[in-house]
Every structure is written in C-alpha cells, then in structure tokens.
Amino acid sequence: MILMAAAGVVSGQIRISGKVTDAEHHPLSGVNLAIRDSYDGTTSGTDGTYSFTTTEKGPQVLEASEAGYSTDTFPVNINNMPLSYNPVLVRSYGQLNLVTISAGSFEASDEHRGTVLKPLDIVTTAGANADVISALKTLPGAQQIGESSGLFVRGGTGEETPTFIDGMTVNDPYFSSVPDIAQRGRFSPFLFKGTVFSSGGYSAQYGQGLSGAVILESEDLPKQSSSTLAVSSVGLGLGTDQLSKSKTFSYGGDLNYTNLGPYYGLITQRQAFTTKPVFWNGDVNFRVMTSKTGMLKFYGYGNYSKLGFLQPSLNNPGQQDMFTLDNENVYTNLTYTDLLNEHWKIYLGASYSDNADKIGLGEQSGTGDTLLSLNHVNNRDGLAQGKIMMTRYVGRFSALRFGTEYHDAFNSFGYDQYDTNYVDHYLAAFAETDLYFTTKFMARIGVRTEYSSLLNKWNIAPRISLAYKVADKDQFSVAYGDFYERPDTLFWLNGYDKLGFVRATHYIASFQRVSHDYTFRVEAFYKKYSGLVTTVPDTTNGGSGYAKGIELFWRDRKTFKNIDYWISYSYLDTKRKWVNYPFAAQPNFAATNTLDIVFKKYFPAITSNLGLTYSFASGRPYYDPNLPAADFLSERTIPYNSLGISYDYLANIHGAFTVFVLSISNALNSSQVYGYNYSNDKTRRQAIVPPANRFFFVGMFMSFGVNRTQEVIDNN
Amino acid sequence: MKKIFYSLCICCCVISATAQSSRYIAAMEENVAPLDSVSSMDSLQILSNNFQRIAEAEKSAWLPYYYAGYCQALIAYMEMDMNKVDGYADQAAIFAAKADSLSPNNSEVLCLKSMVASARIKVDPMTRGMQYGMQSGQDLQKAETLDPANPRVYLLEGEGKFYTPAAYGGGKAAAKPLLQEAVDKYGSFKPKSDIDPRWGEAQATQLLAQCSQ
C-alpha cells in the first residue's frame, strides 16, 4: 500500500496549464491558481499564462483567485491526462470602479475613492479662512460675490443655492446679512465628513433650490476622544469630542467667542463701528450606534451676535447712516439611519431652527451726537421639518429611494409698529432610482412633487441623469431636470396670493477624467428660468431668463513634488428679466469670466504649508440711473482680482498636534468694486467695496488626542 | 494477524501524519528562505500566493496566513501607484485577520496589522496620517505588551518615527533609541522554529546607521 502510494508520487504528475483573463479578455498576472485544499498550484505570469504539475488525483476543484476579483472555480477529475483551464475573473464589488453620477457636482469626501476634494482641502484653501462656502467659491460655477452672502451659481442668486445638513434644509446657513458685506457660513468645516457642491442637476431628494445645492454630511463617531483649543486674532474657541469605551456612543461640543473689536482697533475699516462685532456661538452633538448598522445623530447650534456701525449718508451729505444688528439663531438636527435588512434602509430626520434679527436703521447728524431718525426692523423665521426616506436595494448595484418631507415655516417681518406674519406648510414627495444597466452605464431617474400652502400650488419636477464610463478613468455624464423654488420671502409682502413657484430647467453635459493624481473636467450647461418674479408694474411670475456657459476644472497633485494645485474657469452668459428690470439684462451678480487658481505647497523639512489662491472675475454690470433706461445694467465695474495667502506651520507641542496659521486676503491690495449705490437724486454715487481691502488673520489651533497624551506620558 | 494489521494501520497513520507536517515544514521553509532576498513585487506576489495555498490547505496554521499578509504589506509599501495601494493593504488585512483568529494575541500578528495601517498612510498623508498613524501605534503597543522581547515591535516603531516629521513627534532623534533597542533585541532573539518570523535585523542595523549620519 505504502509502496503503491510512493510510486504514484513519482509517476503520476499531471500538468495543468492555461491562461487567465478578465471580463474584457485582458490577461491577468499574479493570479493564484490552486487545487483546492492542496499545496499544488502556481501564479500566472504577465501574459496571464500559467502551468504547474500536481500529484493530486480524482475529483478536485481548481481555483483561480486574485485580490479585487471574484474567485473562479472549476471542478475536474484528474486522471492521467494533462488539463487545460482558462479562467475568466470578474472585478468584485468595491473594486469595480463603478460609474457614478457626476454631472453638476463636486464632492469632498474621504469615503469614496476618487473624489475631487478631501474634507481637509476646504480648511487648507488660502483666502477661505476655513469657511466652507468661501472654499467652494474656488470651484467652477461659483461667482466671486463679496457684497452678499451665499453661493451665486451659474447666473443664479445666493437664494437659489440652499444648504442641507444630513438631508435637512438649513434656513439660515450664513451669519445674518449686513448691507454690502458678505457673511461667513455658520457651520465649522470640521463637523462634516462629506461636502457636495452641486451646480445643477442634483437629486430629487432635495428641493427649493433653482441653481445648486450645498449638501453637507456630518461626521460619524470620532476615532478617539480629543479636545481642541483655538486662539486667534479674532477670538477664542474650545471644543471636545468624547468617545465611550464601548466605541458606540460619543458626545461633544464647541464654544466660540469672536470679537472683532481689537482687530478693528488696529486695522481701520470703512465703516465706523459703534458696536464692535461680537459673536458667541456654540454647538453640541451626540452620536449613537444603535446597532451594527444603525446611527442616531443629534446636532444643535446656537448663536448670539451684535454689531453696529455708522457710515456717511449717501442721500444726506454731512449726515451719517446708522446700522445695528442683534442676531439670535438656533439650529437643531436629529437624524436616524439603519439597514432594516439586506434590502431596505431607512432614514428619518427632524429639525427645528429659529432665527431672529433685530435691526436698527437710523440717521445721525454729522457730528454723531444727535439721532435724527431711528427705525426698527424685526425679522424672524422659524422652520420645523420632518423627512422620511426608504431605500430599496435591487440587484447588485441598483437602488430605489423614495420619501416625503414636511416643513412648517413661519416668517415675520416687523417694521416699527407694522407687523406681517406668514406661515407656509410645505409638503414634498420624491422617488428616485439609481439604475445600473452595466457597471459602466447608469441612469438616475427621479421625480419630485411639492406643495406650498402659501402659494396654494403644486409642482412636479422630473430629473434624469445618465453617466457612462468609457474607460477606467474617463466618463461622460448628462443631466436634465426641473427645479422649483418659492419666491423670495420679500416678494410675499406684495401679493403672495397671486404668485406661484419659480422654475429653472437644467441641461448639463460633462466629461471627466479622474485619477489619484489628477482630475480634469469640462462641463457645459444651459439653464432656462421661467416664472421669475417681476415687481414692476405689478408683482407677478412674468419674468424669465437663461444662463449658459462652459466650465473647466484641472487639479494636479503629482507633476510638481509636494505641490497640489487646481484651476477653475467658468464662462457664463446669462440674462434675466425680473424684479424691476425693464428688459432682460445680465444681472449685477453675474460676471462673464471667472478664474480661480488654488495652489498648495508642502515643505516637509519645516513641516509647513504655503497656500495661495488667486481669483479673477471680469467686471460685473451696474446701472447708472443717469443713463437712459435703454442702457440699463450696461455699465461694468472694474475686474475683480484677489490673491489670498496662507501659511500653516505644524508642530507637536507636548503631544498636542498644533497648527499655527497666518493668512492675508487680497494680499496685493487690489482695488475691489462690487457695484455702485446711487443717491436718490442720482447726483452722488458710492462704490460698494469691502470694509477693508485686506484681512489679516493669525491663529493657533491645538488638538489634544487622548492617545497622543498617552504617548507623551510613555515617552517620559 | 489482526494485531499486525492494526499496528500497520497505526504505523501508516503516524507516518502520514509526520509526512504531512514535514511536508508543511518543507514547503514553508522553501518559501520563507527567499523572503529576505526578494525585491520585486512580482516575486512577492508569487510567494504570497504560495503561502496562501499552504494556508488554505492547512486551515489551522497561522504562519502561512501571516507570511501571505506580510508579502502583501511589503507590496503595499513598494507600490507607487496610489490607486492600487489600498487593494494590497486590504488583502494584507484579510490575511492578518485570519492569522489573528487562528492565533489570537500574537505579538507578530499585531506587528503585521501595524504594518498594514502604516502602509495606507502614504496614499493621502494629510487626511490619513492621523487615523492610520494612531491605529498603527496602538497595534504596536499591544504587540509590545504581548511580547516585550519581540525585536520587530521596536523596529517598526523606530521605522515609523524615522519617516515621520519631527513636528508630529518623529525624526531621526526620536527613532534612534528605538532602533538601538531593536538591534539589541535581535541580538538575543531566538525564533521559535526555522519557519517562525525572524526578519528585520539587517533593516534595523541599516536604519540605525542612517540615524547617526
């Protein structure tokens, strides 16, 4: 018996050979070929071929496996004949490099490989001063608007690009507006693991944005407990994130105090501040892993701020105009997501927010000691909302989503003793499918319907996007969709009962090539506005307009060592007839050409980052009321130029990861004019310019991680 | 007659059992030997595949999974195409997890896990440095607690410091004492068998020399 077995070992070697290919018939090298449960086997060569001998006999299973591919198996009966086996391996899920919808959107995320931006990019963009919106302004489609808050996208106003946090609408994402000065976003970029900037054609999950959307996704459980301390030229901040021992629960919060008083004492502003801007704000959060797949998140934010200033009156030379603002803002957001089983996912969200602005508008005598007039404006808006969404996974990749949301919104406008209040009940339902025809070709087909009780009208908005991957890194996308928005709240004051939804229809085509080291993208769009609100001679939905253009984006992290840069260029052709425009004209918030160059260089030897951001925009239209009506908005301001510089030095101070930041906006002191205000008698005008040409910032941010502290203790 | 038959049977069983394990040791030795000398990713992939076949045939031995993962981790270190690094690291992590389940609380397996985490950092140091650097450090800490005599713990720790900027707590000065300790431990380290991990001594000596430059 033993002899027989031994004889078999010597004489019974059978050769197995063949060639391994992928689904596209390309040879695969490095594939592990084995007879299951035996040592026998080999690895395929560069041409995909292989050959090995075995002493195994009888019924066996041949296996071909490679990381990132499905394993192929082949049952055989080994006798005395050589065997041939030519396996075909298919890329496995996750490695598939699946096509995804990309028309109109830029994503910053760590989770999805091959995104255009990383969350850190938002913080490290020079000139943005860690403001999400300012960083997004360096992407194609966004305008360089310095006199009003918000993102002005593809010929739209700031109102046309709403902000969403974890699927919920944010009513007041920016600090309360101040005449002719754009305000920062309220929310810290460190709160979010993902940011999507859509400049059109976005998902049916979101509504009430004619032009774009800023979709923010909050962080999950922190990796470890940590605390932060921020000290800067404008204030102080403290924060903490605590992770439970079981790593299933975390809570945290931040407290920030900002006072621009000392800074304004050093750097003269155009406005004479009577109340130096002071902001107190803070947030709290908790996150609970309710199961392996379930997550409950709460985020709450509160702000109190005040400021007041005087500036020379345009209408009454020698007098001063007074502006004061007190703001109280609360935003809360509670969301829950879980996989119910392998097919179903549930999302539930609830949010409440409340914003109160107390504004004083006055006139003072030239000497500033006599108050000639004072009017009080009290604006308040609140929003309670709820949303539910179900996702049904179909097949390997496709999914169907549907849901509904309800908003209970109130607005009150007070002007001295006059008071106007509105309540709107808004209801929306949506359904959308991500349909994969192949791994390279997909469609997103969706529809959204909305009702507003104030307008007493329904709308229905179909949206379709297609994406086709022509090569591993290259894909084409097209998108079409209807987008509706309620008219701006200001218009409601004049006959809201006669108004209906404002509508924009988007057509987008784009091509992109994305690799780890570079991104290239070109996108063309056409947007048609209808139902824009006109206020002369009557408040109606009689306006219309269009915007079309082409945009380029190039990002390169490889060519120059330690240098990462991107270039965005936007060409925009837009006209609209709305508000008091006598005819369709290019609006004063739209520049024809916009260019941004963002440059980041890392110096490993001195652990420093140097950031430069250069922005250019061609002159924007303004109207000189002394010109005939036919020349409405025919004048152009000087072009906009801005160079922001930031320098970060990274250090380890007693185990605390520390970043020192020095930044200057508009370092070259370029003159920036956003438009002109004219006096009522048209004889005087004043350029709309920033409060100061440059803004300097010095700060230190320290992060104390529990583990790092431990490291320090261990080392001593 | 019956007795003879039974004793023959037992004899056969003993022979086949020892034959099996000597075959295992021979196969392992054959593949462990070239580990110090291979320098190409292709050869590492071949070795990794060989170890994987042994691992899947043996089922209960942690070493072949450990070595398959070690080869994948080395490939991940060598790979310069940042789109591909995670694929190798993922594969290494799978092998490390299998080795871990077969031999829990093994200092060598934790060293491998630490290598996998630090291999991922280079894909995007700015965003990943913190997370994976910490993960890698935690694994090494655990590896040290489990076996303070394991020289690879100090080698990997020293190596990590060596390639980390001083601002993040790294640098040559921080690496030197750890690498010195590694070299000392290699001096007294005896692998449990000819096929147990013993790599790293040359690397430790070489890095230590660079620290003194």
At B17 the pLDDT is 41
Contact across the interface for B126 and A120, Cβ inside 8 Å: yes
Which residues of chain B approach chain A closer than 8 Å at the C-beta?
A: 12, 15, 23, 27, 42, 45-46, 49-50, 52-54, 56-57, 72, 81-83, 86-88, 90-91, 123-124, 126-127, 130-131, 134, 137-138, 165-169
Mean confidence (pLDDT) of chain A: 89
- For residues B13-26, one letter each, b for 16 or more C-beta atoms within 10 angstroms of the residue's C-beta and e for the rest, the string is eeeeeeeeeeebee
- CB nearest B127 (choices: A36, A118, A517): A118
- Quick check: A148 and A182 in contact, CB under 8 A? yes
Burial of A284 (0-12, 13-18, 19+ CB in 10 A): middle
ipTM at complex level: 0.84
Which tens digit of pLDDT belongs to each residue from A202-244?
999 999 999 999 999 998 998 788 899 999 999 999 999 999 9
- Quick check: A624 and A678 in contact, CB under 8 A? yes
At A536 the pLDDT is 83
Peptide bond into A537 cis (omega under 30): yes
In whole angstroms, what is the distance from residue B61 CA to residue A203 CA?
Answer: 51
Q: Which range has the top average pLDDT, A145-149, A351-355, A487-491?
A: A351-355
> Chain A residue closest to B26 (CA)?
A39
Secondary structure class of A66 (helix, strand, coil): coil
Ramachandran angles phi, psi of A644, nearest 5°: -100, 140
All residues of chain A having their beta carbon less than 8 Å from the beta carbon of residue B167 are 607, 650-652
Query: How large a percentage of chain A has pLDDT more than 90?
Result: 67
For testing contact with chain A, the best of B13, B30, B56 (most A CBs within 10 A): B56
Query: Secondary structure of A590-632 in the HEC alphabet?
Result: CCCEEEEEEEEEEEHHHCEEEEEEEEEECCCEECCCCCCHHHC
For residue A331, the one-letter residue type is Y
- Interface A–B counts its CB contacts (< 8 A) at 86
For residue B114, the one-letter residue type is S
pLDDT band at A422 (very low <50, low <70, confident <90, very high): confident
Which helix (DSSP H) or strand (DSSP E) does residue A710 occupy? helix A706-715
Contact across the interface for A30 and B15, Cβ inside 8 Å: no
For testing contact with chain A, the best of B53, B59, B139, B162 (most A CBs within 10 A): B53
Which tens digit of pLDDT belongs to each residue from A233-285?
999 999 999 999 888 999 999 999 999 999 999 999 999 999 999 999 999 99
For testing contact with chain B, the best of A32, A601, A707 (most B CBs within 10 A): A32
Closest residue by Cα to residue A121 from A703, A650, A564 = A564
Alpha helices in chain B (DSSP H): 2-32, 41-58, 62-78, 85-102, 107-121, 125-146, 151-163, 172-188, 201-211
pLDDT band at A70 (very low <50, low <70, confident <90, very high): confident
Q: Region A602-613: what's the mean pLDDT?
A: 86
pLDDT band at B36 (very low <50, low <70, confident <90, very high): confident
- pLDDT at position B5 over 90: no
Lowest mean pLDDT among A268-277, A439-448, A499-508, B126-135: B126-135
CA separation, residue B92 to residues A60, A95, B37, B146, B159 (Å): 28, 16, 20, 21, 19
Q: Region A586-598: what's the mean pLDDT?
A: 96
- pLDDT at position B158 over 60: yes
A434 contacts: CB under 8 Å, gap ≥ 6: A101, A397, A398, A399, A400, A401, A442, A443, A444
Chain A nearest CA to B110, separation (Å)? 18
Contact across the interface for A516 and B123, Cβ inside 8 Å: yes
- CB nearest A652 (choices: B45, B54, B167): B167
All residues of chain B having their beta carbon less than 8 Å from the beta carbon of residue A29 are 42
In whole angstroms, what is the distance from residue A209 CA to residue A482 CA?
Answer: 10
For testing contact with chain A, the best of B49, B51, B168, B181 (most A CBs within 10 A): B49
Which residues are A653's β-sheet partners?
A656
pLDDT band at A451 (very low <50, low <70, confident <90, very high): very high
Q: Region A20-47: what's the mean pLDDT?
A: 92
